[in-house]
Structure 1
Amino acid sequence: MLSARSLFQEIIDNDESYRLFCSIAASGETQGGWENARIAALVPTGMADMAPKITRHGADEDKHGRIFQQLLRKRGLEPVPVPPETDYTMLLEKNGIGLAHSKLRAEERLTEEDIVVYLSHSRVTEQRAADQMVMLRKHFGDHPEVGRAIRMISNDEDNHLAYCHEELLRLNHEGHGRTIQRVLRESALAEIVVYRDVSLAVMEHMGRILKWPKAKSAALAAGIRGMHAYERFAGWHRAVGLAMPERRDALGGPVTPVPEPA
């Protein structure tokens, strides 16, 4: 029987599939760290009070990248190049989600609307990240090799999502409501397409590495497409709602250090 637990167990039990998984994860987290660092450096003067939290967000993402690299080193593995079709972060940018990298590489300060776009995009992608980590924590939170890393990253993703909710609600109160709702909807609908395509590409690569039979690969692809159909019809609404989180000022403290190898 196919299940998220059995699939991930297969992936982490095989060095080559584990190597690809950790490489993809490390690359995405590191890219997210760079993006947040640049946004913090270019934040508008009138929003300077947000810079420390954006910096903390980026530092957490950098930390996650180092954690995945550390997991590879513990097995004596080197990272592999990330196939472009599996690069979630790059494909989001190509589809116009978030702030363009050309803008982040420049030295011109961002506008208030840019920050609203950044936070709205982050609210959508952090919902995806938090949900994925909840699933992994449920099945592998006590795993001797990856459990500690999963628990730490999951806690951070919950903090990031809480931060996005709180800041967007504040900006909504300050008059940015229409922009927030527009960008949330556009981002959510575009993100589910990117996530479907990336999921299909990752499963295709994993299937080749693990030599899955055609029937198994076809069943997984059908499941991914079925989930996309549900999200396209109704599921995307979950990524656009805003509610005051239980965790307040979630990014107001210091970054938790990377755990030492066991």
Structure 2
Amino acid sequence: MLSARSLFQEILDDDRSFRLFCSIAASGEAQGGWENGRIAALVPESMRHLAPKITRHGADEDKHGRIFTALLKKRGLEPVPVPWETDYTMLLERRGIGLTHTKLRRDEPLGEEDILVYLAHSRITEQRAADQMVMLVRYFGENPEVGNAVKIISQDEDNHLAYCHEELLRLAREGHGPLIQRTLRLCALAEIQIYRQVSLAVMERMGRLLGWPAPKAAALAAGIHGVYGYERLAGWRRMVSLTMPERRDALGGPATPVPAL
């Protein structure tokens, strides 16, 4: 029976697919770490109170990249280059979502609106990451090879999502509500398209590595299109809602080190 659990188990069991999966994940997390580090360095003076939290966010992303690299090393594997069509972060930037790398490479302070865009973009992408990690913890939280890693990352993603909700709600109370909602909607509608594009590309690559028959590949592609259809119709609304989290000041301390996996 084709299911998310059986699909990820198949990817986990094969060195080639596991190598690609961890390489894509490690690259994306490392890229997120760099972006947050640059944003923290360029925060405008009026919002310097956010710099430690943005720094913590970036440190967590760097940690996740090291975790995925460590999982590869445990199997004696090296990362592989990430195919461009599976580079979620780069494709979002090309769609004009978030802050461009060109802007982040300049040594010029960002504006307050830039920070709002960063938080809105993060609220969308962290929702995706948090949901994916909840699924992996449900299926593989007790797996001796990856269970500890997915639990650690899932907890961090929950913290990141809580932080985005709290800070965006604070900015909305300061009068930025309409701009926040417009930005969230723009980000969400672009993200679900990019997520479908990347999901199809990743599954196509995995199918080639694992020798999936055409009917299985077609069923997976249909499932991805189905998820997109639901998100395009209604699911995106969940991604733009803002609710004060139970976990307040979620990024108020230093990042935890990478534990032994």
Which letter maps to 1:255? A
Determine if the alignment matches structure 1 residue 182 to structure 2 residue 174: no
Distance 1:259 1:199 in 2: 30
How many residues of Structure 1 are paired with residues of Structure 2 in the alignment? 261
Q: Which runs of 4+ in 1 moved over 3 A?
A: none
Q: Secondary structure of the equivalent of 2:152?
A: helix
- What is the aligned partner in structure 2 of residue 221 from structure 1? 221
Q: Tell me the TM-score normalized by structure 1.
A: 0.99
Distance 1:50 1:227 in 2: 35
Q: Secondary structure of the equivalent of 1:234?
A: helix
Determine if the alignment matches structure 1 residue 234 to structure 2 residue 228: no
Distance 2:114 2:175 in 1: 15
**Per-residue displacement from partner, 1:6-54 (whole Å, max 9, x unpaired)?**
0000001000000000000000000000000000000000100000000
**Per-residue displacement from partner, 1:129-184 (whole Å, max 9, x unpaired)?**
00000000000001000000000000000000000000000000111111100000
- What is the aligned partner in structure 1 of residue 109 from structure 2? 109
Distance 1:35 1:10 in 2: 32
Using the TM superposition, give the Cα deviation of residue 79 of structure 1 relative to its aligned residue in structure 2, in angstroms.
Answer: 0.2
Q: Tell me the TM-score normalized by structure 2.
A: 0.99
- What is the aligned partner in structure 1 of residue 27 from structure 2? 27
- What is the aligned partner in structure 2 of residue 41 from structure 1? 41
Listed as ranges, the gaps of 5+ residues in structure 1 are none
Which letter maps to 1:244? M
Which letter maps to 1:124? I
- What is the aligned partner in structure 1 of residue 89 from structure 2? 89
- What is the aligned partner in structure 1 of residue 246 from structure 2? 246
- What is the aligned partner in structure 2 of residue 5 from structure 1? 5
Using the TM superposition, give the Cα deviation of residue 76 of structure 1 relative to its aligned residue in structure 2, in angstroms.
Answer: 0.1
Determine if the alignment matches structure 1 residue 145 to structure 2 residue 111: no
Distance 1:214 1:181 in 2: 42
Q: Secondary structure of the equivalent of 1:163?
A: helix
**Per-residue displacement from partner, 1:198-237 (whole Å, max 9, x unpaired)?**
0000000000000000000000000000110000000000
CA RMSD of aligned residues (A): 0.5
- What is the aligned partner in structure 2 of residue 260 from structure 1? 260
- What is the aligned partner in structure 2 of residue 130 from structure 1? 130
Using the TM superposition, give the Cα deviation of residue 260 of structure 1 relative to its aligned residue in structure 2, in angstroms.
Answer: 1.3
Listed as ranges, the gaps of 5+ residues in structure 2 are none
**Per-residue displacement from partner, 1:85-129 (whole Å, max 9, x unpaired)?**
000011010111100110000011000000000000000000000
